[in-house]
Amino acid sequence: MVHCSCVLFRKYGNFIDNLRLFTRGGSGGMGYPRLGGEGGKGGDVWIVAHNKMTLKQLKDKYPHKRFVAGEGANSRVSALKGSKGKDCEIPVPVGISITDEYGKIIGELNKEKDRILVAEGGLGGNLLTNFLPLKGQKRIIHLDLKLIADIGLVGFPNAGKSSLLSQISHAKPVIADYAFTTLKPELGKIMYNDFKQISVADLPGLIEGAHMNKGMGHKFLKHIERTKQLLFVVDISGFRLSPQTQYRTAFETIILLTKELELYKEELQTKPALLAVNKMDLPDAQDKFHVLMNQLQNPKDFLHLFEKNMIPERTVEFQHIIPISAITGEGIDELKSCLRKSLDEHANRENYAYHKKQLLNLQISNTVTYSELPSKNAVTSSRMDII
């Protein structure tokens, strides 16, 4: 059994995951024609990542959402080379993708202190500009946050994801017996006795058609792009969004969740995945679990039950399948153990692949170097040909 303590990692209130900003680099300084003096360059506008920053904090602190860098100093007799204008730094959370107003990607900031230039300052006046300064670059940018977490919880509404998160991390998500209790992402962190930490993101529940932006749609799906692994959470009794929608069994919800991920972005299916079968405290849960396991072991035997457009190109092969009850705590310790084991195994495989690639690059580099050196036989042969 894995012993671990759990703490609240980060809870978002009035969650914001995108923001539009106006940025402008500073104008350059005036040149000094009589003495050939050059004005200082205008300051630049930078986006800088900080772990403890949120887009809500940024919006609250700078409600105008305008960021302009300082102007370059004018050239003068006492300082012919004008000093550079003051740079403007915009603090953002880690996990930000930056695009311009036309949708072109400027860059991404994925770790603390990452920075990217978004608006350059204008040149100071000099001989080439007739000593007149140039204006700074003007740019409207869009900040788009994609949460970074070790594990992303995937499931239909009311599958028990929020209850599960509260069990494993002591986070305090809204929990109720109706769909869509999670309207904003919640992050919890599992802390193990050896100080290992695993972050888990509970994201708004999917519905059929999420890939077409129905329900939470893309607002949810984009956040699992940067999670290392996926934890599918399904209700053993199945799911029905409303009296007007069709009832889905646990097996059907897994197939439909897989299809939604595939339709949004096929790469999501390559992520390692685990399955938590929740609400095992309900009557007949054990019988339903045995039926589900049989279906998961032979999924192709049951795909004829689905409409053709609902069948994914490939079914998910779960690394671990754990029956749990987020209410009673059944299976929670085993789930924590499996999450850690899966992440450790994945990290080991990545390290092995990285070192193997480095070794291969070294071998190729050495081969190229040796092949460029002329051999003695080649020199002798050419001399013999001349003779």
Do 289 and 217 share a structural domain? yes
- Bigger pLDDT: 175 vs 338: 338
- The bridge status of strand 197-202 relative to strand 186-192 is antiparallel
For residue 382, is it within any domain? Answer: no
For residue 34, is it within any domain? Answer: yes
Which of 100, 129, 145 terminates a domain? The answer is 145
- Bigger pLDDT: 357 vs 234: 234
Residue 365 pLDDT > 60: yes
**In this predicted structure, which of 146-155, 162-171, 325-334, 350-359 has the lowest mean pLDDT?**
162-171
Strands of 96-100's sheet in order across: 66-68, 18-24, 138-145, 96-100, 105-109
Do 249 and 114 share a structural domain? no
Do 168 and 130 share a structural domain? no
Task: Determine the Cα–Cα distance for residues 107 and 215; give it in Å rounded to an integer.
Answer: 29
Indicate the residue type of 199: S
The reported pLDDT for the residue numbered 171 is: 53
Do 232 and 84 share a structural domain? no
Most confident of the following: 181-185, 192-196, 254-258, 262-266: 254-258
Do 161 and 111 share a structural domain? no
**In this predicted structure, which of 37-41, 176-180, 314-318 has the lowest mean pLDDT?**
176-180
Q: Domain containing 335: what range?
A: 149-345
For residue 364, is it within any domain? Answer: no
Task: Determine the Cα–Cα distance for residues 29 and 189; give it in Å rounded to an integer.
Answer: 50
Query: CATH no. for residue 84?
Result: 2.70.210.12
Six-digit token string for 133? 């300064």
Distance in Å from the first CA to the final CA of the chain: 82
Task: Determine the Cα–Cα distance for residues 259 and 211; give it in Å rounded to an integer.
Answer: 9
DSSP 14-26: S---EEEEEEEPP
For residue 384, is it within any domain? Answer: no
For residue 7, is it within any domain? Answer: no
Average pLDDT, the chain: 82
Query: CATH no. for residue 339?
Result: 3.40.50.300
Is the C-alpha dihedral spanning 174, 179, 184, 189 positive or negative? Answer: positive
The reported pLDDT for the residue numbered 206 is: 58
**In this predicted structure, which of 28-32, 220-224, 261-265, 333-337 has the lowest mean pLDDT?**
220-224
For residue 118, is it within any domain? Answer: yes
Task: Determine the Cα–Cα distance for residues 289 and 284; give it in Å rounded to an integer.
Answer: 9
Do 314 and 195 share a structural domain? yes
Each residue's pLDDT tens digit, 213-223: 444 445 567 77
- Secondary structure element (H or E) that encloses residue 103, with its range: none
Each residue's pLDDT tens digit, 130-181: 999 999 999 999 998 877 789 988 888 777 777 788 787 755 543 333 333 3
Which of 97, 124, 145 terminates a domain? The answer is 145
For residue 314, is it within any domain? Answer: yes
Do 126 and 74 share a structural domain? yes
Contact 264, 255 (CB under 8 A): no
Averaged pLDDT for residues 30-55 = 95
Strands of 45-50's sheet in order across: 88-93, 45-50, 115-119
Do 40 and 55 share a structural domain? yes
Task: Determine the Cα–Cα distance for residues 141 and 27; give it in Å rounded to an integer.
Answer: 19
Averaged pLDDT for residues 83-107 = 94
| Placement of tokens 């402008």 in the chain | 24
Residues contacting residue 343 through CB under 8 Å, at least 6 positions apart: 150, 151, 198, 228, 229
- Bigger pLDDT: 84 vs 378: 84
SS3 label, residue 109: strand
User: If we measure between CA atoms, which residue out of 344, 338, 342 comes closest to residue 168?
Assistant: 338
Residue 61 pLDDT > 60: yes
Do 298 and 178 share a structural domain? yes
Residue 377 pLDDT > 60: no
DSSP 175-213: --SSS----S-EEEEEEETTS-EEEEEE-PPP-TTGGGT
Which of 86, 115, 145 terminates a domain? The answer is 145
Torsion angle of the four alpha carbons 228, 184, 186, 310, in this order, in degrees rounded to the nearest 10? -40
Do 137 and 34 share a structural domain? yes
Do 194 and 61 share a structural domain? no
Do 55 and 163 share a structural domain? no
Residue 282 pLDDT > 80: yes
Task: Determine the Cα–Cα distance for residues 351 and 183; give it in Å rounded to an integer.
Answer: 36
- What is the percent of the chain with per-residue pLDDT over 70, rounded to a whole number? 81
For residue 362, is it within any domain? Answer: no
Number of domains in the chain: 2
Task: Determine the Cα–Cα distance for residues 31 and 39; give it in Å rounded to an integer.
Answer: 4
